[in-house]
Amino acid sequence: MTTPTAPRRVAIVTGGSRGIGRQSAERLAADGLAVIIAYASNDREAQETVAALQAAGGTVTAVRAEVSDEGAAEALFTTAEQTYGGVDVVVHAAGIMRLKPLAEFQVDDFDRLHRVNVRGTFLVNRQAARRVRAGGAVINLSSSVVELALPTYAPYAASKGAVDALTRILSKELRGRDITVNAVAPGPVATDLFLDGKDEATVERLAKMNPLERLGTPGDIAEVVSFLAGPGRWINGQVIRVNGGAI
């Protein structure tokens, strides 16, 4: 007598075509999940990611979706359900960064930052709350800079502080659903988002903030995402700092 095969779990990874999002998508695909990669605009980059994951044996589809658009966020989840039958894991890694001293920060930049980082998290998490299946996990990407309080990061850190609050409260609102909600808060990680606009001396200084004296890698973060998406079922409503001990 054959044992029935468990249905494949399905993950949505926003910001999944680059950096931490891409590495998280690769890790979840390697863990056996079917993966929907959501990306904002770069079709070539998204298709390269899909091709790489498929070549490694993964089941993956890319969907162009602006996470701060209400209709696009809803359509993303609908596509996952229609393509793979449901949603079990949501990794919300889409985000942008703008760095300047507060006195010099432009209102348009502030509004754009919060539209993507806060409104986008709200819209994706709202869909997740409505549609993730029992046994699932929601994992938001926050930042250790909320606690590090580095100069020039105030508006960005404020947007990630909002992510932390949404995460903690949503975990309580999903009581009885067997769905965990956590945030992963990286320190400095060697991604294009982090390295853009920083000179070598600045990068070296930030790398040595932690006792391991190096930048994190997207793979370091993806390991924690994988754990929270799979065996880490007793961790819920937490903001987990993944920063080599910088705080």
Q: Which residues are catalytic?
A: 156
What's the token pair of residue 74? Answer: 């809803």
Q: 92: left (phi > 0), else alpha (psi -120 to 50), else beta?
A: beta
Q: What's the DSSP call for residue 116?
A: I
| Sheet architecture: strand order including 34-39 | 60-64, 34-39, 10-14, 87-92, 132-141, 180-186, 239-242
End-to-end Cα, the chain, rounded Å: 54
Q: How many CB atoms lie within 10 A of CB 80?
A: 25
Report DSSP letters for 119-184, one per residue.
Answer: IHHHHHHHHHHHHEEEEEEEEEE--THHHH--TT-HHHHHHHHHHHHHHHHHHHHTTTS--EEEEE
Q: How far apart are CA 203 and CA 193, in angstroms?
A: 12
List all residues 6 or more positions away from 14 whose beta carbon is below 8 Å from its beta carbon: 21, 38, 65, 67, 76, 90, 91, 92, 93, 94, 120, 124
